[in-house]
Amino acid sequence: MTEQSKPHEWWHGATIYQIYPRSFLDTTGNGVGDLQGIVRRLDYVRDLGVDAIWLSPFFKSPMRDFGYDVSDYCDVDPLFGSLRDFDELVTAADKRGLRIVVDQVYSHSSSEHAWFVESASDRSNPKADWYVWADPGAEGGEPNNWQSIFGGPSWSWSHERQQFYFHNFLSEQPDLNLHNEEVQNAIFDIARFWLDRGVKGFRLDALHCLMHDVELRDNPDRAHVPPEAHKPFHRQEHVFDHAHPAVPGFLERIRRLTDEYDSIFTVAEVGSWDPLPLMREYAGPSRLSSAYSFDFLAAPRLDAAAFQRTVAAWPNDPESGWPSWAFSNHDAPRVATRWANGVSYGKVGELRIKLIALLQFSLRGNVFLYQGEELGLSQADVPFERLRDPEGIVHWPQTMGRDGARTPMPWRSSEPNAGFSMAEPWLPVDEAHVARTVDAQTNDPHSALSFFRRVVRFRRNSPALLHGDLEFLPSPEDSLLYTRTSAEQRLLCGFNLSPETIALDIDAKWSLDTVLHSGRPPGCPRSGTVVLEPGHGFVAGVRV
């Protein structure tokens, strides 16, 4: 049976809208978004035409890393509301045909989690082996040379236990020992807790960090250090602290658990240097539904050749796995700044925002759409004194940091803080975003929001885009040309990323019906040729 003839799960080709709860809508007047704010804006999300919502962490946490340091996996932090609020959100979303997908952080917890407090108390307690502990190295220092992603060594000293503990991120985020079957079983209990409350999927955070080399061997140095490497972490090959070969076995246990429920979606976040092998290893019939990486999230510009290589690495063969694509999220500078010159919002920037939208939604796989992306928001300008991101503060000004992608969602241009909160927001609202509020764009047929709505809905009703094969065709430099084909439909997708008008050669027997275009529709001066202006893109139906 071919991929196109199989019955498809709801998530196959789905558009999933990521909400960063802290920055969506504040209903309590404390300057921080909350679960009730999401409930109030569900009609907006529904009207985008998306299939599901991915919620970034809302669990109980001391917020050292804004929720990715979990102190209770089975409760809502009071900052965001309560379990009753979460249940209301799930019910309200379900009534609107929206599914809820939640973050799960299994590689580490908060140092304030009761598990870690007990584990650190001595070396003989019941949870003594629930985290990664080691004696000092030969000279009394760290056990090995492993480096934290956030900067500095991956080891911190516990005075109580008189040992070092391992952490891939902040020292307040100790790594769980997933080699311990008791820890795995505790993780599965957490998953069941949320599945029993009605969630329809999990985004599994930092899966490449899930397990460690039990021999604690040193990582080798990288042979070629990239010029943008600005911290010791970038100077190592992460052979022993990441991508442990036992991870797939753990994921198979996750899959068996989720298969006990109805049509659950699971997606791996893979942030390694060479993500493709891990993505394929983690996603598949007996493991997770899908995987995504930082190939596009970290790309400083839209390069046609690199783009084609990344997409072509996921062939149409269903045995090769099913990808997911994210162009923006809470961890990366917004795509409108990286790829669209969106800071100035000039005519070229607006055109580019629509081209990027059409490009993402024409790909084979799932689409992750980050809140505000549909408004064409650029990376916000957050002054150093207002930064909250611990990584951004440490590495300022070498990187853009993460705060600029996490600023409040702008709802109404005439209200304080663009309608996000009546109080001072936890991060400032960028003035450039006030002109791009939801209310300013909703009734403008030429706005980015209106264009995104058209694109999302077209994809949702297109068998070729949801499930069809993708085949690249030859095209000039700085352009992309490919077909999306299902049993019911064939589409031609073309994108001119260059500053010059280009001619695209197509089959002379084809007749094109342009259904979506990001600028002016393409010209067809003669059979077998399509002319596309600079910065324009299209998706056209193909008739023979």
Which residues are known to be catalytic? 205, 260
Distance of alpha carbon 402 from alpha carbon 462, whole angstroms? 34
Distance of alpha carbon 224 from alpha carbon 236, whole angstroms? 10
Q: What kind and span of H or E run contains 171?
A: none
3-state secondary structure of 393: helix
**Which residue is listed with tokens 């099913």?**
322
Cβ proximity of 46 and 98 under 8 Å:
yes
Q: Helix-strand-coil percent breakdown of the chain, rounded to 5?
A: 30, 20, 50
Distance of alpha carbon 83 from alpha carbon 88, whole angstroms? 9
State the Cα angle at 533 between 530 and 534, rounded to 5°: 135
Structure tokens at 30: 């404390």
Cβ proximity of 407 and 433 under 8 Å:
yes
Q: Where are the alpha helices (DSSP H) in 231-380?
A: 247-258, 275-282, 304-312, 335-338, 347-361
Would you put residue 466 in left (φ > 0), alpha (ψ -120 to 50) or beta?
alpha
Cβ proximity of 15 and 456 under 8 Å:
yes
Question: Which of 269, 223, 262, 267 lies closest to 242, judged by CA?
Answer: 269
Distance of alpha carbon 470 from alpha carbon 525, whole angstroms? 26
Write the DSSP assignment of 315-333 as a string of letters.
-S-GGG--BEEES--TTS-
Structure tokens at 226: 């990239």
State the Cα angle at 248 between 201 and 76, rounded to 5°: 35
Distance of alpha carbon 152 from alpha carbon 174, whole angstroms? 14
Question: Which of 343, 360, 348, 303 lies closest to 533, judged by CA?
Answer: 348
Structure tokens at 499: 């500053």
Strands 511-517 and 537-543: antiparallel
C-alpha pair distances (Å), 228 with each of 168, 199, 242: 20, 39, 21
Structure tokens at 303: 């390069």
Distance of alpha carbon 500 from alpha carbon 93, whole angstroms? 45
3-state secondary structure of 260: coil
The CB density around residue 51, as the number of other CB atoms within 10 Å, is: 21
Radius of gyration of the chain (CA): 24
Distance of alpha carbon 373 from alpha carbon 19, whole angstroms? 11
